[in-house]
Structure 1
Amino acid sequence: MTKNKCSVLIGIILLLSQTACFRPVIPISTGPKYPIDIFYADQQPGRPYDDIKLLYISEEVPIQTKQKVRGGRMLSRGNSMLEKDAMLAKLTVQAQRLGATALVNVTYQYYTTATTNGYSMEGLAVKYRSEQEATRQEN
């Protein structure tokens, strides 16, 4: 191997060793953590459960100034991710109070009129079965 190729190879090895130890200054998050498991309408938990209760929240709020129509068009519609996370947090608190270990089939809908933003979120509060209960039910 020539000296030039060795230098390039050593440089690549040093570069790779430094990037393997890279830790971002700002932690990368996959979203908020909830005290119970959350499964949206297109997801299912990988374990058996018993239904507890269908939970539902909804609200209508006036359109904010930043959403007002300019030139006949709405500037923004619906809720921000923070507002959606707050709604989901409310559902999880309700579910926890019922003894649920998960929310399944969680759905979110919103609508906007000329004067109002409305939203609804629902999910089924469930309790996971223990392995012994699941085995008994299968037999």
Structure 2
Amino acid sequence: MKSPRYFLFLITFCLSLTGCFRPVIPISTGPKYPIDVFYADQQPGRPYDDIKLLYISEEVPIRANQKRSDGRMLSRGNSMLEKDALLAKLTLQAQRLGATALINVTYQYYTTATTNGYSMEGLAVKYRGEQEAN
């Protein structure tokens, strides 16, 4: 049977190691937007008034690495960079309308033989009791 001193040493050693290591992939909270963003399965938890349903879409040519030389598709066009750019544009539209949040945000993408298409929609809302900053 191991002594309590051995277990104390083992616990101390393990705890000291955790301060030495950093995660290989840095933890990120994602991009920051000028207003709050809530996807379709989320709610802001505060009262709000609807402003306007917004919709945005874009198409970009498929990338060279998405197709083989024989024309066979290798990957779909679901790009996080395109999604983030689209959401940034949508939040700016909402902010221009005086919104303080964008709720029920949905995202869709498609790929054709020549195009990656992206669309996003969300409801621009204003929290009740918020004053406009001029």
Q: Note closer, same or farther for the CA distance 1:37–1:22 as it changes in structure 2 (3 Å cut).
A: farther
Structure 2 residue 78 is the aligned partner of structure 1 residue 88: no
Cα deviation for residue 16 of structure 1 reads 2.4
Maintained 8 Å contact 2:62/2:77: no
In the alignment, the residues of structure 2 paired with residue 9 and residue 41 of structure 1 have an alpha-carbon distance, to the nearest angstrom, of: 49
Cα separation, 1, equivalents of 2:64 and 2:74? 10
The alpha-carbon deviation at position 72 of structure 1 amounts to 5.9
3-state SS of paired residue (2:12) = helix
- Separation in 2 of the partners of 1:70 and 1:45? 48
| Equivalent runs, 1:31-70 vs 2, <5 Å | 31-69=30-68
Kindly state the Cα deviation for residue 102 of structure 1 after the two structures are TM-superposed. Answer: 0.5
TM-score by length of 2: 0.80
Counterpart check, 1:24 vs 2:19: no
Shift of 1:5: 3.1
The residue number in structure 1 matching 2:12 is: 13
- Name the stretch that deviates more: 105-114 or 71-80: 71-80
Unmatched runs of 5 consecutive residues or more in structure 2: none
Corresponding residue of 1:107: 106
TM-score scaled to structure 1, two decimals?
A: 0.78
Where in structure 1 are there 5+ consecutive unaligned residues? 132-139
* Separation of aligned partners in 2, 1:41 and 1:112: 23
Q: Greater helix percent: which structure? A: 1
> Which residue is 1:126 aligned to?
125
Q: CA deviation at 1:32?
A: 1.3
Identity of aligned pairs, percent? 78
Task: Kindly state the Cα deviation for residue 120 of structure 1 after the two structures are TM-superposed.
Answer: 0.8
Quick one: which amino acid aligns to residue 61 of structure 1? Answer: V
By how many angstroms is 1:71 displaced? Answer: 5.5
> Deviation per CA, 1:67-125, whole angstroms, max 9, x where unpaired?
12466641111231111111111111111111111100101111111122111111111
State the 1:14 CA deviation.
Answer: 4.5
Q: Which residue of 2 aligns with 1:135?
A: none
Q: Cα RMSD between the aligned structures?
A: 2.5
| Local SS of the residue matching 1:130 | coil
